[in-house]
Structure 1
């Protein structure tokens, strides 16, 4: 992908990444921290995380296209190298979003069936991610929070290096003589 509406696609796609990765991370943490929200958030967040996972390679590819058309500076190279790390933090973020969603589905699949003798008999469907096990729940929660923090921090670092590559030494700290005066 090269341009959208005459602008480099990378600079437009980056905005989606900068908004959607932290949003997916926040929804993941909320799904872990608030079981009451998990049912409503886990499914949409799993879909959102997969969309983000698909957007990252498209964005980095558009960035490579743009890199070959701007001056090669140290800040541009640094940004490109950091941009290549995005996939490595978005994969765990998406994986944890899927695990949280799937565990919720498995927990919902634990059904109560009426049994003989006047009492109910719990019947378990086959589960793979131990939705009722406290130890597994704790491990999943810790891994999910780590994945969320790593993804947000990496996007911050990539964005900071991209801003430096774009704007460093590109503007004046004082207004230009013919610039409109404003507050």
Structure 2
């Protein structure tokens, strides 16, 4: 899906991704380090992660299509497109951490003494992947803004 009506679909899809990545990153970190948050938010976090995993390829595919519609492809636009292609890896990382959190929430008691170690590993991964995902989305968005509006922002 490259257009919605006559309008390029990329801006529509990308805004969902731009909002959901930091939201999910914060949710996975909260769920990983705070038991009360995990009890209340783990399933929402997992559902949002699945939705994000579906929307991200739609945004990047529509972005690739939009790039090929441009008469002049600037290096900044090419950089934005290349960075955009990396988004799925960060989104998949968030999905894996969300799945691990849901597993720990649902079946963590069966791990016995290993539950504490598993929780620590998942918490460290949640923080690393969460922060990295937010950082990468900022990089992707920054190059996209420069590609559209130039370095002066006008």
TM-score (norm 1): 0.78
* Residue 106 (structure 2) aligns with: 105
CA apart distance, 1:130: 6.0
- Structure 1 pair 43/15, CA: closer, same or farther in 2 (3 Å)? same
* Residue 143 (structure 1) aligns with: 125
CA apart distance, 1:5: 3.9
What pairs up with 1:72-87 in 2 under 5 angstroms?
Answer: 72-87=73-88
Distance 2:6 2:147 in 1: 21
Task: For structure 2, list consecutive stretches of 5 or more residues without a partner in the other structure.
Answer: none
More helix by share: 2
Task: For structure 1, list consecutive stretches of 5 or more residues without a partner in the other structure.
Answer: 111-126, 173-183
Distance 2:113 2:65 in 1: 44
CA apart distance, 1:171: 6.4
What pairs up with 1:60-99 in 2 under 5 angstroms?
Answer: 60-70=60-70, 71-99=72-100
- Structure 1 pair 131/60, CA: closer, same or farther in 2 (3 Å)? farther
CA apart distance, 1:4: 1.6
Larger radius of gyration: 1
CA apart distance, 1:132: 5.6
TM-score (norm 2): 0.92
CA apart distance, 1:169: 6.0
* Residue 144 (structure 2) aligns with: 162
Distance 2:80 2:118 in 1: 37
CA apart distance, 1:33: 2.1
Greater RCO, 1 or 2 (C-alpha within 8 Å, sep 6+)? 2
Could you list the per-position Cα deviations for residues 37-66 of structure 1 after superposition, in whole angstroms to 9, with x for gaps in the alignment?
A: 111101110010011011111110000110
Distance 1:5 1:73 in 2: 27
